[in-house]
Amino acid sequence: MQTEQLILLLIYLGLILLIIVIMAIIFFSTFIRRKNRLVLERFEAEQKFEKELTNSRLEIQEQTFKNIAWELHDNVGQLLSVANMQLNMLSGAVAESHQEQLNETKGVVTESLKEIRNLSRGLNKDVVLNNGLVASVETEMQRFNRMNFLEAKLQVDGQECCINSKDEIIIFRILQEFFSNVIKHAKANNLFVNLSFQPNKLVVSAKDDGIGFDLVQVKANAGLLNMKSRAAIINSTLEIKSKEAGGVLLTLEYPYKENDQTN
C-alpha cells in the first residue's frame, strides 16, 4: 500500500514539475515574443523617423533649390538682360575700332544669360518634372559640353518608362550630385551616362575618367552620404566604385513601382 502511495506521490510530483516546466516555457516564449515585438516596433519607429527626417531634409533642399532658381532667373537673369540692352544702346556711340570688342562682350553676356537660365531650370524641380528624366539629364550633358568642362555623353537603352514623379526628381538629384563632384574634383575629360530602362527596373550608370579617389578615406563624405540616403528613400541600391587614377563609376538600380506606367 505504501508502495502504491509512493508511486502516486511521484506521479503527482512529476506532473507538478511538468506543469511548472510547461508554464516556464510558455512564460519564456511569451517574454521572448514580446521582447522581439518591442525590438521590431522600436526598429520600425526608428526607420520611420529616419525616413521622415530624410524626406523633410529633401523637401527643404528642393525648396532651397527652387528659391535659388527663381533668384537666378528673375534677379541675376534680369540684370544680365539689362546689361545686354545697355551694350546694344552703346553700340552706336562706340568707335569702329572698339566694335569687335563690344560685340565679344555682348556675346559673353548673352551666353551667360543662357547658362543662368539653363542652370535655373535644372534647379527647379517643376521644370525637371515637366521635361522628364531623360530630357533633364540630356540638358545637363549639353550644358557641360557648351561650357567645355568635359565631353559628356548620354546613352538611353530600352523604352523610356514614366517613373513616379517624386522618385524621378530624386534620381536626377543623385546624378546632379555626381556631376557636381566630377566637375569640382575629378579633373576628368569625359563623362558617360547610361539610362537602361529594363522590364522591371531602371539601371542608371555614370562614369568619369578622372583621378578617382580612395573609397575608404572618403566613405563619410557628405556628398556620398547624401546620394545614398536619397537612393534609400526610393528603395534603390546605389553602388560607387573608384580607385585612385581610375575614375569613378556610379550604379543605381531603381525597381519600378506598381504605379509606374510604361509609355
How many whole angstroms separate alpha carbon 159 and alpha carbon 162?
Answer: 10
Residue type, 135: A
**Residue carrying the nine cell digits 559640353:** 145
- Are the C-beta atoms of 117 and 76 separated by less than 8 Å? no
- pTM, rounded to two decimals: 0.65
44-55 residues labelled b (16+ CB within 10 A) or e (exposed): eeeeeeeeeeee
10-residue averages of pLDDT along the chain (263 residues): 73 84 86 84 69 62 64 66 72 72 76 73 75 89 85 93 85 90 88 94 94 73 79 90 86 84 46
Q: What is the pLDDT of residue 259?
A: 62
Q: What is the pLDDT of residue 15?
A: 85
Q: Which residues make beta-bridge pairs with 151?
A: 190
83-115 residues labelled b (16+ CB within 10 A) or e (exposed): bbeebeeeeeeeeeeeeeeeeeebeebeeebee
Q: What is the pLDDT of residue 224?
A: 80
Q: How is residue 235 annotated by DSSP?
A: T
How many whole angstroms separate alpha carbon 213 and alpha carbon 215?
Answer: 6
Q: What is the pLDDT of residue 96?
A: 73
How many whole angstroms separate alpha carbon 126 and alpha carbon 94?
Answer: 43
Q: Which residues make beta-bridge pairs with 152?
A: 191
Q: What is the DSSP string of 86-131?
A: HHHHHTTTS-HHHHHHHHHHHHHHHHHHHHHHHHHHHH-HHHHHHH
Q: Which residues make beta-bridge pairs with 133?
A: none
